[in-house]
Amino acid sequence: MSVFRLEPFRDPARELERLMSLAAGGTRAPLGMPLDLYRGDDGSYHVEADLPGVDPDSIEVVVDSGALMIQAERTPAYGQSEQVIVAERSQGSFARQLSLGEGVDSENLTADYAGGVLHVTIPASPRSQPRRVEITHTTSAAGTISGSTVEQGDAPAPSAGGAD
């Protein structure tokens, strides 16, 4: 039985990498962990990573030196002795690393795995929240410039240290 898959809009670089991996190792290399990253109304960041069929115990979320690392592993349901006809689902270890940058509270992030999707919430740091700056009005003479006044049409008086 032969199965052909035609995907005209597939990334050619990724396809070449997959074919090279298939030729070298005889198995399909993992294509990655697709994810979405968005910012919520409250300023927090949300990461949703597709990990269907992954054992929840194999998922690891680590924050270190301003980076978020997500790692997981998917093992096939079939064994070494079974004849595999088609293996299109990615197997093996997956990892993604995201730079957190400034303005996030990396101490209080949370992670939840449900329905094959890992959801990581990274709250915004209270220091990075927009705030309104109060403008004060003063009535002091700070806006007054001291010195001589010049009437319109009069030339200013030359200074003592002026040019010859």
159: pLDDT confidence band, cut at 50, 70 and 90? low
Beta bridge partners, 93, equal: 73
Please measure the distance between the N-terminal and C-terminal CA atoms of the chain and give it in whole angstroms. Answer: 104
Considering only residues 84 and 4, tell me which one the structure prediction assigns the higher pLDDT. 84
What is the reported pTM?
A: 0.59
pLDDT tops 90 at residue 127 = no
Q: With contact defined as beta carbons under 8 Å apart, do 47 and 123 qualify?
A: no
- Of residues 105, 97, 130, the one with CA closest to residue 44: 105
pLDDT tops 50 at residue 98 = yes
The mean pLDDT of 145-152, rounded to a whole number, is 56
Q: What per-residue confidence (pLDDT) applies to 45?
A: 92
pLDDT digits (tens, 9 = 90+) for 32-90: 688 999 999 988 999 999 999 898 999 999 999 889 999 999 888 888 899 988 888 88
Q: With contact defined as beta carbons under 8 Å apart, do 123 and 101 qualify?
A: no
Burial tier of 105 (Cβ tally within 10 Å: 0-12, 13-18, 19+): middle
Considering only residues 110 and 43, tell me which one the structure prediction assigns the higher pLDDT. 110
The mean pLDDT of 86-104, rounded to a whole number, is 85
pLDDT tops 70 at residue 153 = no
Cα–Cα distance between 108 and 124 in angstroms, integer?
Answer: 9
Checking DSSP bridges between strand 35-39 and strand 60-64, what pairing results, if any? unpaired
pLDDT tops 80 at residue 5 = no
Report the chain's mean pLDDT, rounded to a whole number.
77
pLDDT tops 80 at residue 149 = no
3-state secondary structure of 70: strand
Quick one: DSSP state of residue 98? E
The mean pLDDT of 96-106, rounded to a whole number, is 87
Residue reference for tokens 């990615």? 90
